[in-house]
Structure 1
């Protein structure tokens, strides 16, 4: 009797990566495939919940399409605080179930699902009072740590510890001496949200989902009262696309109410948008070996390590204006600067700010006027036959939201469907990550890249780094830094188009990389070199390259001008002055 040796985990990861390509030809194939036969499920919305739902459905053996109007993670899922956390403030609100669930998901993402994109990050909680506050906050953080043990797997982060004022100042020399009497240091995790969401879309494609971006759902197919599919427009060609499906899942976040209106009648629940705004400043502007969490009069403020930068955020204000491009005003920026400067020895100024971004949280609408008190729990509904709606929640619990939405959808399918298995499914680039990291010196020697470059690639692409290295092997010039954004290789732009579904310059500069918020010129210097590299994969001519660059420069100019406006209304009006991305026709 002969036995077959299973392939190593690394080879399984390589096969997934190959099947999960989202290049131009893959998009064309997906567009043709979804119009041929009735599918089991169509997911509308390419944010973290939508991509998670597509992956959940595909790994249950269902036929699936994922349709996104813009780019993957182009809304809320690329504009978060980049944290995977349980939420200490929800613990203070006695929402133990939400915190426990989020901590379990944090452990899964850190240790199994996306270890290449997610890593532990320390935070200091400065204390203002000597006795009662240390006992009060300390007991809460201890409970936080203990609750993270209940998931049946590694927490992925160290336990908290108490620090004296002297110990705090050793770790954070930039902190004012009178800003605290001591501190508690605890750990959460951070993630590149946009790359993670895009990775979920690729993983869904690897398991058979038809994944299509830049295609806007304009209506629903109906048979009587029942929804039997969607009508969409391919924004790149203007073609109308009809996709029939047994069930449609609406996972459109802050656009939930708009999508529900397409089927007529009032939805089962309402979603309210809350704007969260963040600043990005260089690492050397704050001397600290740890992140910080500070209380404000409304919520909490994070100072988050982010590579060679800090992210400072967030605000929490009601937003009723344009949902696609929420604008940050000068008032928002000053609010964050004032609060962080209250504890810094050397204040930050507007000149220290490299990047600014604002995102909208989809909160379940309640009676409170304060968005910070609206629910972060999610709900799933079935407003009409054939249509499932999922809304609310927080980034960390995306997998649970996706699972619950698919659970609701499959109840109406005429055959038995297996339970969700996504807690066991690493995303592309994750399988064999530790082995790849341990071999980084050999990879550097083999590729001719500096080991620091290889580490950068491994933290962004995981085991898919081999694919990027292969591009460099085929053209040594692509191993050179991208002009205007030297932290990135030219090959990363090519890979973003050939494998990661990037269709426009904004997709690359704002989401496949973070050039738009990590350079003082907001990516202006990198725009043309990046567009010319994209042209080699996407088949652009000189006119399209020019249009892409002009569009991106207009976007940056509008954002800069909006950030000088005094309030939301004027900032929104200015930001809307920039055009949407230009279709390739």
Structure 2
């Protein structure tokens, strides 16, 4: 069969000038949103991806760069589920070596290397961890052997390899530790990223290559022709409008909602997904005196203490969750579990009063019908569950690109012609090209725009080479280069850019995902909600009534989360959290 035509070439042989629809650098603004709705209603797509998490966005990018006509729809916001609530690490999974998951570790380390060097060096950064040793004689050689294997498989590529430390050396690296908590230590490196920001960048890159990317767009029905799925009916949950979207194949990349979408499609799934809740707390950087992160063994798994700007992220838990999938709630017991375990090694214990933010996310683990198949929980699975319908679930954030490529490979069974191979290992995300040169020009950029160099570095690590586009937004409004009054780590222009270019539609989208104000400040965004609503609302055309409603909904969300975090169990916490209203009130159940 002849190869497919590049983007703009349809499977029926006709052509459309898709380049005319490309947003400037993948812009996701109000005008692009309106155009996307028209395209959903009028075009026939090779692939429709459901789900705006990292795997769904990755699948859209993979398919678009193979020359397919692609649409991605998400019921809420980009990364609004699991992909904004992870440990924020690109890591090889050191602990999987003990489970003899060598292939998984090697794959994850390869992906980490790609992110650090080629795909997203502006977003993904090296981070060091100290592994405290607590047992004499056997633990150091045992752990060193594992880390040697880790380094050999790629763990020491682009980052330093393991370094052995005496107890005194480990204490100098992490003075916050109790002297009796260790007999020595080993330092090793992994990588970290702002997960929500990275996912959004993947989506914008997909849009740059021609994909239609539209949030607040919920799949309410699957369209069938005879025995095959031929598209979806979607609902704009901002307006209530609905249209049919025609597709050669639909990819269900909805994570913990996979089973719900399978039921909506009327197809029997090939696997089930179990939601596992992971809770993290955020504390000020000065509460733990350390030059490195920590990885601690627990009776169940591991606990990370992760450097995060001016903060530490401490977590995580791992418990089943069978309640509201959109709003997993942290309980007092979850928070106490984290505090108890980290305080077992800290000379000065953390308290509830130290906590700036708390977040809970759900891992979409594969649930097998037997104990042996459940061991695949950190692997991923792809299945053609019906003609024209592919589902993907499981896996981990680090390997999203591999998962996306696998999903598109399986989708090829329902597309005519020869499918090009995946090339996303060669496609930098928006902002990556030119980033390193700009790092060397921080002083000049700062002088040109009247910003301190540390401000420019902050912007570069969030936007990369798109920093010029961000700063241009403030060209006629220099006041936008001032910090937010109650969240001074962020500039006002970042809020405006979130609404004009990054697809933010609601106040929560800005405070919880385009920025991380909701977890980085003790007020959790309450004290700056009015100012952010005014800035974003000016771009999105909000009147005073809408601004007031957005602020009220956000304040109710924060209060509901605070209430849930003093409850003793999941049921009570879920009841408290779901008391808050949705910013997208037209959402139907089930949701993607």
User: If the length of structure 2 is used for normalisation, what is the TM-score?
Assistant: 0.94
Secondary structure in structure 2 of the residue aligned to 1:430: coil
- Where 1:546 maps in the other structure, the secondary structure is helix
- Which residue number corresponds to residue 99 of structure 2? 93
| Alignment check: 8 A CA contact 1:17 1:464 kept | no
Could you say which residue in structure 2 is the equivalent of 1:106? 112
Aligned equivalent of 2:73, options 43, 67, 73 = 67
Classify the secondary structure of the residue corresponding to 1:388: strand
Q: Structure 1 residue 265: deviation in Å?
A: 4.2
Residue 48 of structure 1: CA displacement? 0.2
- Equivalent position SS for 1:294: strand
Q: Which secondary structure does the structure 2 equivalent of 1:29 belong to?
A: helix
2:414 & 2:372 partners in 1: Cα distance? 37
Output the CA distance in 1 between the equivalents of 2:370 and 2:123: 36
C-alpha spacing 1:371/1:530, structure 2 compared with 1 (3 Å)? farther
Distance in 1 between residues matched to 2:436 and 2:329, nearest whole Å:
39
Aligned: 1:42 with 2:44: no
Distance 2:230 2:445 in 1: 50
1:493 aligns with 2:489: no
Measured in 2, the distance between the counterparts of 1:498 and 1:146 equals 45
Q: 2:194 aligns with which of 192, 202, 223?
A: 192
Aligned equivalents of 2:374, 2:461: Cα separation in 1 = 33
Give the secondary structure class of the aligned counterpart of 2:573.
Answer: helix
Q: 1:76-120 CA deviation, whole Å, 9 max, x = no partner? A: 000000000110111110010111000000000111111111100
- Other-structure match for 1:232: 234
Q: Could you give the per-residue CA deviations for residues 508-536 of structure 1, whole angstroms, max 9, x where no partner exists?
A: 00000000000001010110100000111
Identify which of 311, 319, 334 aligns with 2:336.
Answer: 334
1:28-69 Cα distance to aligned partner (Å, 9 max, x none): 101101211211000000000000000000001110000000
Give the direction of change, closer, same or farther, for the CA distance of 1:528–1:106 in structure 2 (3 Å limit). Answer: same
Partner of 1:130: 136
Counterpart-to-counterpart distance in 1, 2:466 and 2:434: 10
Query: What is the alpha-carbon distance in structure 2 between the residues aligned to residue 19 and residue 57 of structure 1?
Result: 18
Structure 2 counterpart of 1:461, from 463, 478, 493? 463
Partner of 1:159: 161
Give 2:3's aligned residue: none
User: Which whole-Å CA distance do the structure 2 matches of 1:246 and 1:191 have between them?
Assistant: 34
Distance 1:370 1:213, change over 3 A: farther
SS at structure 2 position matched to 1:497: helix
Tell me what 2:221 maps to.
Answer: 219
How far residue 484 of structure 1 moved from its aligned partner, in angstroms, is 1.1
- Contact 1:551–1:582 under 8 Å retained in 2: no
- Check whether the contact 1:41–1:64 (CA below 8 A) recurs between aligned residues: yes
Query: Across the two proteins, how many residue pairs are aligned to each other?
Result: 567
Q: What is the rounded CA distance, in whole Å, between the counterparts of 2:510 and 2:210 in structure 1?
A: 25
Paired with 1:319 and 1:521, the residues of 2 have a C-alpha distance of 27
SS at 1:540's partner residue? coil
- For residues 403-422 of structure 1, what are the structure 2 equivalents within 5 Å? 403-422=405-424
Question: Deviation at 1:155?
Answer: 2.4
Q: Is the CA contact 1:298–1:372 (under 8 Å) kept in the aligned structure 2? A: no
Equivalent in the alignment of 1:287? 289
Residues 1-26 of structure 1: per-residue CA shift (max 9 Å, x gap): xxxxxxxxxxxxxx998240000110
Asked if 1:79 corresponds to 2:85, the answer is yes
**2:38 corresponds to which residue?**
32
Pair 374,561 (structure 1): closer, same or farther in 2 beyond 3 Å: farther
> Is the Cα contact below 8 Å between 2:22 and 2:207 reproduced in 1?
no
1:559 matched to 2:561: yes
Q: Which residue of 1 aligns with 2:173?
A: 171
1:514 aligns with 2:520: no
Superposition TM-score, scaled by structure 1 size:
0.95
Match of 1:390 in 2: 392
| Paired residue secondary structure (1:219) | strand
CA 1:297–1:368 in 2, change beyond 3 Å: closer, same or farther? farther
Question: 1:225 and 1:17, CA in 2 relative to 1: closer, same or farther beyond 3 A?
Answer: closer
Root-mean-square deviation over aligned CA pairs = 1.7
**Quick one: distance in 2 between partners of 1:17 and 1:168?**
50
Question: What CA distance in whole angstroms lies between the structure 2 residues aligned with 1:160 and 1:16?
Answer: 45
Q: Are 1:117 and 2:88 counterparts? A: no
Report the Cα offset of residue 411 of structure 1. 2.6
Partner residue, 2:549 = 547
Q: Which moved more, 1:549-558 or 1:364-373?
A: 364-373
Q: Is the contact between residue 437 and residue 455 of structure 1 (CA under 8 Å) also seen in structure 2? A: yes
1-side partners of 2:209 and 2:70: how far apart?
10
Q: Name stretches of at least 5 consecutive residues in structure 2 with no aligned partner.
A: 1-20, 588-592
CA distance in 1, matches of 2:452, 2:104: 43
Matched residues in 1 for 2:528 and 2:176: separation? 32
Distance, in Å, in 2 between the alignment partners of 1:254 and 1:272 is 7
SS in 1 for 2:535: helix
Q: CA deviation at 1:170?
A: 0.7
Change (3 A) 1:81 1:342: same
Which of 29, 53, 56 aligns to 1:23? It is 29
Counterpart Cα distance in 1 of 2:374 and 2:295: 16
Native 8 Å contact 1:292 1:304 kept in 2: yes
Residue of structure 1 in register with 2:534 after alignment: 532
Following the alignment from structure 2 to structure 1, what is the Cα–Cα distance between the partners of residues 149 and 317? 26
Confirm or deny: 8 A CA contact 2:45 2:69 kept in the other structure.
yes
Whether contact under 8 Å (1:316, 1:371) holds in the other structure is no
Aligned equivalent of 1:5: none
1:140 to 123, 142, 146: 146
- Aligned pairs (5 A) from 1:361-400: 361-366=363-368, 375-400=377-402
